[in-house]
Amino acid sequence: MSKAILLFLLIFIPAGLFAQGTLSGDLQTNINFFQKDAAIGAANNPLYDNALSGGEGWLSLRYNIKGWTFNTRVDVFNNSNLKAPAQALTAYGLGAYSITREMDDLTITAGYVYDQIGSGALFRAYEDRGLLIDNALVGLELKYKLGKNVLLKAFTGQQKLLFTRYNPVIKGFNAEGDYGIGKAHFIPGVGAINRTLDKESMDVVAATINGYADTAKRFLPRWNMYGFTGYNTLTYKSISWYVENAFKTHEAIVGDSATLINKWGNVTYSNLSIAKKGLAINLSGKRTENFVMRTSPNQTLLDGMMNWQPVVARQRPQRLMSRYTPASQDLSELAYTIDGLYSPNDVTNYSFTYTHINKLDNTELYREGLAEVYYIGLKSWRFQLGLQYMEYNIKLYQSTAIKEGKTPIVYAVTPYTEVTYRFNDSKSIRMELQYMNTKQDFGSWAFALLEYNFVPNFSLSVSDMYNITPNYDNPLVTKANHYYSFYGAFTKGPHRLSLAYVKQVAGINCTGGVCRYEPAFSGIRSTFTTSF
């Protein structure tokens, strides 16, 4: 891999510099120091027992000249806890590279391709460093502008797996239009995808099926899976409506009982927004049935994901509520959300949300009712006050039963407030207070944060999350623990350095509706980012 990086730099960068092209790039580094704290569960794994420190880094370079774009990215993982938070990953290599040629109507990209079809429900190749998702398609993509209103895309390749690739082959096509009729604007699209298993993957699938003692569970697996989608965005005056329906052919997927089943799948998603002066309403809904899109049935969790399920539930930034963010369900989900915003004047906003998520068999997964008021009527002051009621199926979302024989649902009521005072245009102080009342999981919580900002250079904060009424039925809870955090950040131009001392409770980490469970963390975290 290092030879490939050197070859890329020696061939393209010097030649481009000689031709007076444009060179740009960015760098991100994360460093962790692991401090053992058995009281909160941050212990008894290689990170705290042996490694003691670790981190990761990404250096990207982009070079543009006369319709050509060259991209390369070096990835470094040294005792990193990103892929498996309780294990150390050490690896180094060329994380991504691509060459793109833009002509009049045709664009060709070879290498690592990041793109999607529609909302991403059928196919999405993207990167999320916080969860170490990087499922780029390593291959070739063509884009062709058919007149002024139609864009055609075709691609083929294999999905990335760190510094190697999954063996199955993926092929796809997408056509998208852009039309206006009077005051109405339409963006329709269709897409298709085909994934072909390799022999090694098929051998594993066949051996698993043949190993079932119950012959009624056996079936003939298929080498090819085909998926199709149709979607449209309609904008008319103050109305915006997106709708998409996708389905896939029969294939072997992992069912609820962790055994392979032969099922076809489909997903329907829609989002409708209506806005008037002082009033806005947003409706979202999704129905999912056996819509598992992976490089092969042998991949689980965040591995081998070929798509991204649109998210219906709102992801909350508040520390306590974010612990119970519902992940999209590939096998069975019926979900809807209604959001409302009412602004009677320029200084006051009222908002509300109701979310309802079940499985298709009517098993309860998630409920949320939230009301919030935001007020800026006093000079230099900003006030936010809210209340959330939540029901969360922790047994399904986190594979955790609260207590044998008890309900798998976490019931919680969380009042919260945020107050900001601005000293002047560059200095402000912000306070957050939250309280979560629940008898399940870890029990009730209290959270407080105080943050000072000196724009654009400094940000300092201190917070504490306290298990105020512990639930001793949970084996992870031995006493009422404090989870402190001290954070500081310095920004100068494109450079940003942050340093934090963190104690973090075990729980779910989500971004964009994709979630994973992480064990407790104790230690120091530092991040540096820059662009040039």
Q: Does the pLDDT at position 9 exceed 60?
A: no
Confidence band (pLDDT; 50, 70, 90) for 16? very low
Best CA proximity match to 453, nearest among 461, 464, 445: 461
As given in the structure block, the two tokens for residue 212 are 């079932």
Best CA proximity match to 58, nearest among 45, 68, 72, 48: 72
Q: Does the pLDDT at position 194 exceed 80?
A: yes
Report pLDDT digits (tens) over 122-170: 999 999 998 889 999 999 999 999 989 999 999 999 999 999 999 999 9
CA 242/CA 103 separation, integer angstroms: 31
Q: What's the confidence (pLDDT) of residue 1?
A: 45
Confidence band (pLDDT; 50, 70, 90) for 508? confident
Q: Does the pLDDT at position 8 exceed 70?
A: no
Best CA proximity match to 260, nearest among 228, 230, 222, 311: 222
* 155 CB neighbour count, 10 Å cutoff: 22
Confidence band (pLDDT; 50, 70, 90) for 220? very high
**Average of pLDDT values for 499-517?**
82
Half-sphere exposure of 406 (CA within 13 A, CB side): 17
Contact 352, 344 (CB under 8 A): no
Confidence band (pLDDT; 50, 70, 90) for 2? very low
Contact 91, 78 (CB under 8 A): no
Q: What's the confidence (pLDDT) of residue 406?
A: 65
Report pLDDT digits (tens) over 32-89: 999 999 888 888 889 998 999 999 999 999 999 999 999 999 999 999 998 888 889 9
What single letter denotes the amino acid at residue 76?
V
What is the pTM assigned to this prediction? 0.88
Q: What's the confidence (pLDDT) of residue 151?
A: 97
Q: Does the pLDDT at position 5 exceed 60?
A: no
Domain ranges of the chain: 2-90+236-531
Q: What is the mean pLDDT of the chain?
A: 91
Confidence band (pLDDT; 50, 70, 90) for 490? very high
Gyration radius from the chain CA atoms: 25
CA 439/CA 276 separation, integer angstroms: 41
List the Cα angle 66/67/68 in 5-degree steps: 95
Q: How far is CA 431 from CA 44, 96, 419, 465, 501, in A?
A: 35, 41, 5, 14, 19
Helix (H, G, I), strand (E, B) or coil at 321: helix
Q: To the nearest whole percent, how much of the chain has pLDDT over 70? A: 95
Q: Which residues lie across from 515 on neighbouring strands? A: 510
What single letter denotes the amino acid at residue 484?
Y
Tracing tokens 């994709």 back to the chain, one arrives at: 514
Q: To the nearest whole percent, how much of the chain has pLDDT over 90? A: 77
Range name among 150-164, 178-192, 299-313 with the lowest pLDDT average: 299-313
Which H or E run includes 208? helix 199-210
Q: What's the confidence (pLDDT) of residue 340?
A: 96
Please confirm whether the linkage preceding 456 is cis (ω < 30° from 0): yes
**Average of pLDDT values for 474-488?**
90
Q: How far is CA 426 from CA 451, 453, 456, in A?
A: 14, 8, 7
225-228's contacts with Cβ under 8 Å and 24+ in sequence apart are: 225/194, 225/195, 225/249, 225/251, 226/192, 226/193, 226/194, 227/122, 227/123, 227/192, 227/193, 227/194, 227/293, 228/122, 228/190, 228/191, 228/192, 228/193
Report pLDDT digits (tens) over 337-392: 999 999 999 999 999 999 999 999 999 999 999 999 999 999 899 999 999 999 99
Best CA proximity match to 450, nearest among 438, 439, 440, 460: 460
CATH of domain 2-90+236-531: 2.40.160
**Residue 203 CB burial class (10 angstroms; 0-12, 13-18, ≥19):** exposed
Q: What's the confidence (pLDDT) of residue 401?
A: 58
Which H or E run includes 384? strand 381-393
Q: Does the pLDDT at position 492 exceed 50?
A: yes
